Amino acid sequence: MTSPAQRFKYAATGRWAVSIRTYLVLVFPFGFLTSIEREQLLNGVGITQAATIAFAGELTASLYLFLVQLFVLGDRKTKLQKLSRCLFVWVSTGLVRGGFTAIYAVWAFGYEAELPIRLPAAVLYTAGAMAVTAFYFGTIERRRLETQALNSLGGLLHEERTQLTDQEDEKRKRVLSVFESQLLPQVVVLRSGIQKLLAGRDADNEQGLHQLLTQSQEISRAINQQKLEYEASSKSYQDGYNSGPQITYWSQVIPEIISIRLTFLVMVLGSATGQFPRNGIKGIAAGIMGAIFVVSILAPISVLIKRFPANRYFFMPLGFAAAFSVQYVFNLYQPTLGFHLNNPYAPWYSGLKSVYGVYVASVIASVVVNIGREFEGANTKGLGLRDAIHLLSLRNEVIDQSLFDTRFGTLQGKIAGVTMALHLMETQSLGQISASRKKELLESANQLLGESMHSIESLTLKAL
């Protein structure tokens, strides 16, 4: 069992350690929004000028990230990277983002650099968000690759199962041919010989002959029973192996679940990033408290979604509405709860940001869960195919043994031996044999038929 640190390193330091796609779709939007908020707060400017300053930092950070991932993490698609390198890229991207925002504000508009405010917020959010997306999307990618491997193996196992099934059908036909052309005619001849001897009114051997007749009838029934069993053809697998459509990253734009842990992580990261430049440590504490309230109301809704998945399209909007309402009320009553913030968010705006955080976390969690289900499904199919192949292999071994015993083994020899003994007893050449010797001969014949009966019963496939 790997530790959380090892799981993080394995998932976050490979292909998804840096991804321009996840950066632009998940990291950039919220970071750009908080940068605009910060610039408005620091310089009291309008949204257009604040967005211009913020966008300069975001654009430079994106260009820097594109270059640095080529030179520092260029082989991340083929092997895992050192965690220190990944941390360097994540943190340095935040530094470039915050630093160039300050440089552009000074150069273009003559504002103060305000590095103690701009840099920590930019580094905390950028490094944290990139680490989180690297871990979750690395986990998703690993599961996707494992599922693809299982599906490939499943296709090979399906082909092997089909081949074994065809072989079994062919061997069944051979065994049936031996039953019909050799064993059953021999038993008919044997029973005819016994009936002839019984017609001779041999009182001394009548009991032994009746026993032989009974055993021959039982053998005939057993062979017919086995014949019916072998005539039941094995299941054919002509259809191709169905691996199912693979989950795509865009398949959960409408999420299916709410992850409490991931929602809490995203909300804490977002509130810490947004509140620190506005209200310092007290603002971060207020953001964490708000996140606790939100996930507390979302927890029972998350349970209901898992328990009643058919009603998730009702519960999901209910969850978003609940997150908005709780955050809205919390912002209204922050002073009552002891959080006297200098620059609090507007309640409606804070509620919308909470909904955004819940949505992003839900999308990622839905992809993770569905990829996990797809992996388990492929694994279950593979296990089922392996069990089927094992069973087919055992059945083929039994049928091979049956074919050998019926065609080349001692079964036919025993039945033929009994028939020959009865034939000799009909001739005059054994007329001088003593009664005790005849009795001994009949006992041996009965023993041979008993052994033949046991051999026929061992040909069954029912136990498999």
At 199-229, the pLDDT tens digits run 765 666 677 777 777 877 887 888 788 778 7
Distance, CA of 294 to CA of 315 (rounded, Å)? 15
Asked whether residue 126 is domain-assigned, the answer is no
| Residues 93 and 148 occupy one common structural domain | no
CA angle 17, 23, 29 (to 5 degrees): 150
Asked whether residue 290 is domain-assigned, the answer is yes
Q: How many CA atoms lie within 13 A of 443 on its CB side?
A: 7
CB of 418 closer than 8 Å to CB of 189: no
pLDDT of the residue at 335: 85
pLDDT of the residue at 177: 81
The separation between the first and the last C-alpha atoms of the chain, rounded to the nearest angstrom, is 36
Residues 392-429 have pLDDT tens digits of 888 777 777 777 766 655 666 677 777 766 666 665 55
Domain boundary among 65, 98, 113: 113
For 76, other C-beta atoms within 10 Å of its C-beta total 21
Distance, CA of 197 to CA of 137 (rounded, Å)? 85
Asked whether residue 231 is domain-assigned, the answer is yes
pLDDT of the residue at 461: 67
pLDDT of the residue at 430: 46
Asked whether residue 439 is domain-assigned, the answer is yes
pLDDT of the residue at 426: 61
pLDDT of the residue at 432: 55
- Residues 6 or more apart whose CB falls under 8 angstroms from that of 51 comprise 32, 36
Nearest residue to 276 (alpha-carbon basis) of 450, 48, 37, 51: 37
Asked whether residue 188 is domain-assigned, the answer is no
Distance, CA of 65 to CA of 19 (rounded, Å)? 9
Structure token digits, residue 178: 């031996």
Determine the length of the chain.
464
Number of domains into which the chain is organized: 2
pLDDT of the residue at 14: 86
Domain boundary among 61, 78, 113: 113
| Residues 101 and 142 occupy one common structural domain | no
| Residues 227 and 291 occupy one common structural domain | yes
| Residues 321 and 416 occupy one common structural domain | yes
Asked whether residue 15 is domain-assigned, the answer is yes
Structure token digits, residue 239: 């259809």
| Residues 152 and 6 occupy one common structural domain | no
pLDDT of the residue at 249: 66
Classify residue 308 as exposed, middle or buried by CB count within 10 Å of its CB (0-12, 13-18, 19+). exposed
Distance, CA of 314 to CA of 139 (rounded, Å)? 29
pLDDT of the residue at 329: 93
| Residues 240 and 328 occupy one common structural domain | yes
Distance, CA of 356 to CA of 239 (rounded, Å)? 45
Query: Which residues, given as ranges, of the chain have pLDDT below 70?
Result: 1-2, 200-205, 233-247, 249-250, 405-413, 420-439, 441, 459, 461-464
| Residues 70 and 155 occupy one common structural domain | no
| Residues 62 and 158 occupy one common structural domain | no
Q: Is 242 left (phi over 0), alpha (psi -120 to 50) or beta?
A: beta
Distance, CA of 255 to CA of 236 (rounded, Å)? 40
| Residues 94 and 161 occupy one common structural domain | no
Phi/psi of residue 111, nearest 5 degrees: -80, 170
Distance, CA of 112 to CA of 103 (rounded, Å)? 9
Asked whether residue 197 is domain-assigned, the answer is no
Structure token digits, residue 126: 């950028």
Phi/psi of residue 344, nearest 5 degrees: -70, 155
| Domain enclosing residue 311, as ranges | 138-180+218-464
HEC per residue, the chain: CCCHHHHHHHHHCCHHHCCHHHHHHHHHHHHHHHHHHHHHHHHCCCHHHHHHHHHHHHHHHHHHHHHHHHHCCCCCCCCCCCHHHHHHHHHHHHHHHHHHHHHHHHHHHCCCCCHHHHHHHHHHHHHHHHHHHHHHHHHHHHHHHHHHHHHHHHHHHHHHHHHHHHHHHHHHHHHHHHHHHHHHHHHHHHHHHHHHHHHCCCHHHHHHHHHHHHHHHHHHHHHHHHHHHHHCCCCCCCCCCCCCCCCCCCCCCCCCCCCHHHHHHHHHHHHHHHHHHHHHHHHHHHHHHHHHHHHHHHHHHHHHHHHCHHHHHHHHHHHHHHHHHHHHHHHHCCCCCCCCCCCCCCHHHHHHHHHHHHHHHHHHHHHHHHHHHHHHHHHHHHHHHHHHHHHHHHHHHHHHHHHHHHHCCHHHHHHHHHHHHHHHHHCHHHCCCCHHHHHHHHHHHHHHHHHHHHHHHCCCCCCC
Domain boundary among 60, 78, 113: 113
| Residues 144 and 108 occupy one common structural domain | no
Asked whether residue 190 is domain-assigned, the answer is no
| Residues 277 and 320 occupy one common structural domain | yes
| Residues 170 and 97 occupy one common structural domain | no
For 244, other C-beta atoms within 10 Å of its C-beta total 11
Phi/psi of residue 258, nearest 5 degrees: -120, 120
